[in-house]
Copies of this chain bind each other. A is one copy, B any other.
Amino acid sequence: MYNFTNDYNETAHPELLKVFCETANQKLTGYGFDEYCNNAKENIRKQLKSPNADIHFMPGGTITNLTVISHILKPYQAVIAADSGHVNVHETGAIEATGHKVLTATTTDGKLTPELIKPILTFHSDEHMVQPKLVYISNTTELGTIYTQQELKKLYQFCQKNDLYLYLDGARLAMALAAQENNITFPDLAKYTDVFYIGGTKVGAFAGETVIFNNTKLNKDFRFSMKQKGAILAKSWIVAVQMNALMQNNLYLTLGQHSNHMANKLKMIFEKAKLTFLAKPQSNQLFVNFPNKLAKKIQDHYVVDCLGQTDSQHTCLRFCTSWATKEEEINSFAKQFQKWL
C-alpha cells in the first residue's frame, strides 16, 4: 500500500549517506566542536550572507522549538502562533511543558499577519494576563502554504516595532524556498527573522535540524539550554555533515523542488477532477476535499492522513510527497484514481 502520509519515510538521500559514511574511521571532538561542524557552519553563514549568524545542530524539530523558545522567553511571556501551528497542536504541549502559554490566531491558510496579531497585543494589557513576546511561524506552514518576502518583511517589521521576536520553524523550509511562487532567499531569512531553523529530517536527512540566531542578543548561553533539554548530540557532526551536503550545489532546494513538483502533479490530477483544496496548494502538502466515498476508496488503497469531514459530503485527505517520491508512483496513482472517478 503506497504511502503519501509524510516526507520522512526514507532514511536519507544517497548523497547525505555518502558524506555521513565518510566520517567513519576518524577521531573527532565531541559536542559540536569538530571540524565538520565548523565547516558546515561556515558554509551556512555564506549561504545566508550573514557572517555573525550563530548556528547550532539539533536532533529534531520539537526539541528545537522547545529549546529555542524556552531559552528566549521570561517565565510569564507567551508565544503567538497560528491555531494550526505545530507548536500549538502537534508537540504534546512541549512549549507549555517549559512554562509558556501559546496564544493563537484563527487562520484559514496557516499564516500569521500583523492584522491577526494586533488584537492579541491589545487584549493582553496587564499583569493578569501573559505577555505576548515571540511570534512563531512556519514556512511552509502546516497547511502547505508559503510566505512571500513582502509578507515576511512586513511581519518582521511589525515585530520589531512591537518589541516581539520572530521565530520561523523551517521543518519544510526547502519546500518553501523551492516553491514556484516563492521569492524569499536564504539571506532574507537572516534579515527578516530573529531566529529560524533549517529543517533536515523532511528534506533527506536521517535526523537533524539547524538553528540560526540572527539576533545575537538572544543566543547568549544557548548551549546551556541545549544541554539542559538534551539537545546536544555527543556526535553533532552526524547532523553537520548532512546539513553541509544539503548546502552544496543547491541540493537543499533541489530536493525541495522535487517534492513540490511531485505534489504539483497530484494537484493537477485533483484539479482536473474538479476537487477543491482546504488551503492553496503551494508546496509538497495537499489538503484535498474528496466526496466521502472517494475518500474512503483512496484510504483503502493508499496511506494518507485523514483530517476528518469538512462538511457532510466531503472528507479532507492530506497528500504529502518527498524528495524520494518517484514520478511513476504519481502516475500509478493517477491511473488508479481515474478508474474511481
Per-residue interface assignment for chain A, residues 1 to 42, with 1 indicating a CB less than 8 Å from any chain B CB and 0 otherwise: 001011011111010010011011111111000000000000
In A82-123, the 8 Å CB interface with B consists of 89-94, 96-102
Any chain B CB within 8 A of the CB of A51? no
Task: Say which one of A143-151, A152-160, A228-236, A292-300 lies at the interface with B.
Answer: A228-236
Counting chain A residues whose Cβ lies within 8 A of the other chain, the interface size class is: 35 or more
A60 at the interface (CB under 8 A from B): yes
Does any Cβ of B come within 8 Å of A59's Cβ? yes
Contact B238 A130 (CB under 8 A): no
Contact A66 B26 (CB under 8 A): no
Residue A136 CB within 8 A of the other chain: no
A288 at the interface (CB under 8 A from B): no
Partner of A201 from the list B9, B61, B234 (CB cut-off 8 Å) is: B234
Chain B nearest CB, measured from A103 CB (Å): 9
Residue among A25, A71, A229 facing the most chain B CB atoms (10 A cut-off): A229
Residues of B within 8 A of A131 (CB): 221, 224
CB-nearest residue of chain B relative to A14? B24
The 0/1 profile, CB within 8 Å of B marked 1, for residues 221-265 of chain A is 101111111111111011000000000000000000000000000
A223's closest neighbor in chain B, by CB?
B127
Q: Are A10 and B25 touching (Cβ within 8 A)?
A: yes
Are B94's CB and A229's CB within 8 A?
yes
- A128 contacts the other chain (CB 8 A): yes
| A290 interface hit (Cβ, 8 Å) | no
* A93 partner residues in chain B, CB cutoff 8 A: 76, 78, 99-101, 130, 228
- Is A219 an interface position by the 8 A CB rule? no
Write the chain B residue with the least CB distance to A171: B234
In chain B, what residue has the closest Cβ to A228?
Answer: B92
In the complex, A135 has a CB within 8 A of chain B = no
Query: Is A63 in contact with B6, judged by CB distance below 8 angstroms?
Result: no
Contact indicator B9/A91 (Cβ below 8 Å): no
CA separation between A202 and B90, bound complex, in Å?
Answer: 32
B230 touches A231 (CB 8 A): yes
* Contact of A228 with B75 in the complex, beta carbons under 8 Å: yes
Q: Does B206 lie within 8 Å of A76, measured CB to CB? A: no
Q: Which residues of B contact A130 (CB under 8 A)?
A: 92-93, 96, 224, 228
For the complex, is A273 an interface residue (Cβ under 8 Å from B)? no
Closest to A74 in B: B221
Q: A59-B233, A70-B75, A89-B129 are in contact. Are A11 and B26 (CB under 8 A)?
A: yes
CB distance from A309 to the nearest CB of B (A): 11
Residue A62 lies at the interface, judged by CB distance under 8 Å to chain B: yes
Given the complex, which residues of B lie within 8 Å of A234, measured CB to CB? Answer: 6, 8, 60, 201-202, 207
| Cβ contacts under 8 Å, A11 to chain B | 20, 23-24, 26, 28, 235, 237-238
Can you list 26 A-B pairs with a CB-CB distance of less than 8 A?
A: A5-B30, A9-B27, A14-B24, A21-B21, A59-B233, A60-B233, A60-B234, A62-B227, A64-B230, A66-B230, A76-B221, A89-B129, A90-B128, A92-B129, A93-B228, A94-B227, A97-B99, A98-B99, A101-B102, A127-B226, A127-B227, A131-B224, A201-B235, A206-B238, A229-B230, A230-B230
